[in-house]
Amino acid sequence: MEELSRRYGPVVALNELTLTMAPGELVALLGPSGCGKTTALRLVAGLEEANGGRVVFGGKDVTGLPASKRDVGMVFQAYSLFPHMTAMQNVAFGLTLRHKTADERKNRAGEMLELVGLSGFADRYASQLSGGQQQRVALARALAIEPTVLLLDEPLSALDAKVRSRLRDEIRRVQLEIGITTLFVTHDQEEALAIADRVGVMQSGHLEQLGPPTEIYSRPATPFVAEFVGLTNRLAGEVKFGMVEVRGTQLPLVQPNAPTGPAIALVRPEAVSLAAEAAMGNGPLVGTVIAVAFLGATSRITVDLGDGVTVLAQMPTSAAAATPAGTRVRLALRDDPVLIAREEKASGDA
């Protein structure tokens, strides 16, 4: 898509978004609600009309085509199965519209149901399927018509956590198996990072950053991306000589020309390490552990620095065992490049 725009009255939902996807690629659009990601998807689907820009599929301009002529497969958030049809009939519906013979329909729909692991449920109605199963049927239905592009509009957000991660992996498996170009919209950063080849983080109608999940996480291009993807500590510091000084530690900057002066540095919890106060030299950062949250392989520790500021640190659970709540600890910040938060926030938090 090129320079897609969409306005609702004075509200610009999508501002000249340009995104090119490679064949067979899965791109996730990630952002808070109202950031324009769903609008972008619906413009690609043809369910809404663009105010400007073009949508091109494999060199063919489809901007003027209605949804029914675009050959896109679409999976909605929830409740999109036709309740008066069985799973099989739902999957076969697109083929019925394409005047395929009964045999063709049956074979293809059966294949698709098998692909999503629901062969045994062909005769069930939507009300007799769980939420996760319904979404799998919806996926099979979208794929049955052999679309050019697969569009997924928060397909997992109505499911509970366990089903969600399983179905997420399932979607990825099916997508790789068929090799279909896929656009996946979500507000869940974990989901986006886990499933996509590339993630596009969106805010207020434009793309903040587009890149592989690892890059998005470890080298966020903007403060918004840093804060939206993963947890961050907001620490007051001062920018000088191309570095930022945070509580006695000099850290390199992502933005080389950040203005000199007081600033808020965004530090990932993994970049914070702890040691019992006595054990580690005489670094300037000391505090008291006030909580240890066990997350499985890693643990997240909350440290009170004594002046009302708390810092999150994340580390392997085995390492965290050394510093239970109440321990006095010394903190060290790894010298990864850090981002400086925007000014208006800095003044409030400092």
Partner 1 sequence: MSKSRRLKLRIFRVVVLLLMGAFFLLPIGAMLEFSTRGNDVTSPRTLDAWVRIAQTPGLVKGIVVSLQLAVITSLGMLALLLPTMVWVRLRLPRISRIVEFICLLPLTVPAIALVVGLKPLYVWVNINVTPSVLALAFAYLVLVLPYSYRALDAGLAAIDLKTLSEAAQSLGAGWGTVMLRIIIPNMPSAILNASLLSVALVLGEYTVANLLNFQNLQVEVAYVGLTDANTSTAVAVGALLLAFVLLMVLTLVGGRLQQQHYIPGQRA
Partner 2 sequence: MRDTPAPTTAAGPTGGGRRFPLSWIGAVPFFAYVGLFLLLPTAIVVIGSITAPGGGVTLSNFAGIDKPFMSKVFANSLGVSVVSAVAGAVLGAILAYAVVTGNPNGLLRRSIMSASGVLAQFGGVALAFAFIATIGTTGFVYVFLKSHGIDIYANTVWFYDPPGITLIYLYFQIPLMVLVFLPALDGIRPQWREATESLGGSTWHYWRYVAGPLLAPAFLGCTLLLFANAFSAYATISALLTNGSNYVPLQIQALLTGETEQSQPGLAQALALAMVLIVVVVMTLYALLQRRTSRWLQ
* Cα torsion through 229, 234, 235, 236, rounded to 10: 120
Task: Compute how many residues bind partner 1; rule: CB under 8 A.
Answer: 4
User: Could you say which of 45, 87, 152, 346 contacts partner 2 (CB under 8 A)?
Assistant: 45
Find which of partner 2, partner 1, none residue 301 binds, CB within 5 to 8 Å per kind.
Answer: none
CB of 346: closest distance to partner 2 in angstroms?
41
Give the CA distances from residue 283 to residues 140, 214, 248, 274, 287, in Å, rounded to whole numbers and listed in that order: 58, 31, 8, 11, 11
- Taking CB under 8 A as the criterion, which residues in 58-117 touch partner 1? 66
CB of 75: closest distance to partner 2 in angstroms?
9
69 binds partner 2 (CB under 8 A): yes
Q: Which amino acid is at 321?
A: A
User: Could you say which of 4, 48, 143, 170 contacts partner 1 (CB under 8 A)?
Assistant: 48
The Cα 245–Cα 264 span in angstroms is 10
The Cα 274–Cα 311 span in angstroms is 11
8 binds partner 1 (CB under 8 A): no
The Cα 29–Cα 198 span in angstroms is 9
Query: Which segments within 129-285 are labelled E, that is strand?
Result: 149-153, 181-186, 198-203, 206-211, 233-240, 243-246, 249-252, 261-267, 272-276
Give the CA distances from residue 7 to residues 36, 52, 57, 162, 204, in Å, rounded to whole numbers and listed in that order: 10, 9, 23, 37, 12
Compare residues 80 and 249 and give the one whose CB is closer to partner 2. Answer: 80
User: Could you say which of 37, 70, 198, 300 contacts partner 2 (CB under 8 A)?
Assistant: 70
User: Could you say which of 24, 32, 49, 328 contacts partner 1 (CB under 8 A)?
Assistant: 49
Find which of partner 1, partner 2, none residue 94 binds, CB within 5 to 8 Å per kind.
Answer: partner 2
Looking at residue 278, the DSSP 8-state letter turns out to be T
Find which of partner 2, partner 1, none residue 48 binds, CB within 5 to 8 Å per kind.
Answer: partner 1
Residues that bind partner 2 (CB under 8 A): 45-47, 66-74, 76-77, 79-80, 82-84, 93-94, 96-98, 127, 138, 141-142, 145, 151
Residues binding partner 1 (CB under 8 A): 47-49, 66
